[in-house]
């Protein structure tokens, strides 16, 4: 078979670029954990020595780290002054915890993904699942860091107002179940915005619920309760709103979860489902965002689902049509896309 040299070189160039990104990702985690990005954002243009002194780190390591980050375009280098600094845009991505563009959490998730490769190799051979709680702990912290900024930026300002009449109920005082809440970021954000409503956060992972309780205490949020429970059997009834944030596709029996949500809502209640913004066909998802979701789904979402009963294995890129099918099989008669972002679609279901 004849080799097209142009196509080969193009592919090699792409792989070299992405191999560099994969390597520098470990440095992103270190920069986040050691406060290097935050100090650069706060301190202006700094030499390696200055940055090391301000962060209590070793200059030789910091110097090499800075070079790699600059080569990646993650920080800027002034060759004349021999100093490094973060542009405002770079600071939003790497240094500002409250920025909607903060991306460091994604690299923490990558650490867990690579850690799970041996387990996933066996799962590929056997078809067995790999439960969420069996993953490396950095997955849970990375998920908190990665999804939190988006929830803080969109949940109260855009997503909830897109649901019919829900905000007025929450302002007056209602009852909400946040299912698959993880570390409880979404639950706490809502509880802070609507102090007259009580929010119940449920997750089947004990360590995540422990962390959620800690965060709620740190934030001084009193109108929230966190408990361990499954999506098909969480307690309570007569909820005004039930929310699922980026978790329905991870469940082994999403249809069973849908049926339980239907039973737990009051007659005028709503179910808000936030899922990756995917097309219904594979070809429509073959893009940079789809690549991230498919890769994460292979290593995290599908194995999590397959580890549970039924094990439907929807995957992160299930698409609206498949999600509609799951929701309506659970007994819901009304289903619509309420709003969306480039990364998420916000779906509303009604009894």
In this structure, are strands 175-179 and 224-228 parallel, antiparallel, or unpaired?
unpaired
pLDDT of residue 43: 84
pTM over 0.85: yes
Which tokens hold the place of 292?
């991230």
In this structure, are strands 344-350 and 265-276 parallel, antiparallel, or unpaired?
antiparallel
d(CA 312, CA 168): 36
pLDDT of residue 4: 95
Q: What is the pLDDT along the chain (351 residues), one digit of tens a residue?
A: 899 999 999 999 999 999 999 999 999 999 999 999 999 999 889 999 999 999 999 999 999 999 999 999 999 999 999 999 999 999 999 999 889 999 999 999 999 999 999 999 999 999 999 999 999 989 999 999 999 999 999 999 999 999 999 999 999 999 999 999 999 999 999 999 999 999 999 999 999 999 999 999 999 999 999 999 999 999 999 999 999 999 999 999 999 999 999 999 999 999 999 999 999 999 999 999 999 999 999 999 999 999 999 999 999 999 999 999 999 999 999 999 999 999 999 999 999
Angle between helices 320-329 and 254-264 (to 10 degrees): 60
pLDDT of residue 42: 94
Please name each of the domains of the chain with its CATH number.
5-96 (1.10.10.10), 105-350 (3.40.50.150)
* C-alpha dist (Å) from residue 271 to 28, 129, 234: 37, 28, 15
Q: Shortest CA distance to 194 belongs to which of 213, 222, 219?
A: 222
Q: Are 171 and 241 in contact (CB under 8 A)?
A: no
pLDDT of residue 315: 96
**Who's near 317: CB < 8 A, 6+ residues apart?**
276, 278, 285, 290, 293, 294, 297
Cα radius of gyration rounded to whole Å, the chain: 22
Q: How many Å is the maximal CA-CA distance in the chain?
A: 71
Query: Does residue 201 sit in helix, strand or coil?
Result: strand
d(CA 188, CA 186): 6
């Amino acid at each position: 078979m004849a080799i097209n040299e142009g196509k080969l070189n193009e592919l090699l160039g792409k792989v070299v670029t992405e191999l560099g990104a994969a390597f520098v990702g470990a440095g992103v985690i270190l920069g986040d954990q050691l406060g290097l990005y935050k100090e650069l954002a706060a301190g202006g243009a700094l030499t390696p020595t200055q940055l090391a002194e301000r962060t209590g780190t070793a200059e030789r390591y910091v110097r090499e780290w800075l070079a790699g980050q600059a080569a990646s375009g993650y920080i800027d280098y002034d060759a004349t002054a021999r100093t490094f600094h973060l542009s405002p845009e770079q600071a939003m991505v790497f240094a500002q915890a409250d920025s909607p563009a903060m991306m460091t959490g994604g690299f923490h998730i990558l650490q867990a993904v690579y850690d799970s490769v041996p387990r996933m190799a066996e799962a590929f051979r056997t078809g067995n699942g790999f439960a969420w709680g069996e993953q490396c702990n950095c997955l849970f912290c990375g998920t908190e860091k990665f999804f939190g900024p988006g929830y803080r930026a969109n949940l109260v300002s855009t997503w909830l107002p897109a649901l019919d009449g829900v905000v007025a109920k929450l302002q007056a005082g209602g009852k909400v179940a946040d299912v698959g809440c993880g570390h409880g970021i979404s639950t706490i954000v809502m509880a802070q915005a609507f102090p007259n409503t009580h929010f119940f956060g449920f997750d089947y992972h004990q360590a995540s619920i422990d962390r959620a309780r800690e965060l709620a205490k740190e934030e001084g949020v009193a109108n929230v309760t966190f408990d361990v429970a499954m999506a098909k059997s969480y307690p309570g009834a007569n909820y005004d709103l039930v929310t699922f944030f980026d978790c329905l596709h991870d469940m082994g029996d999403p249809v069973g979860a849908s049926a339980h949500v239907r039973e737990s809502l009051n007659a005028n209640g709503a179910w808000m489902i936030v899922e990756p913004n995917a097309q219904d066909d594979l070809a429509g998802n073959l893009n940079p965002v789809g690549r991230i979701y498919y890769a994460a789904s292979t290593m995290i979402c599908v194995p999590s689902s397959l580890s549970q009963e039924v094990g439907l294995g929807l995957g992160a890129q299930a698409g609206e049509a498949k999600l509609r099918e799951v929701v309506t099989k659970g007994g819901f008669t009304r289903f619509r896309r309420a709003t969306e972002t480039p990364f998420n679609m916000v779906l509303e279901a009604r009894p």
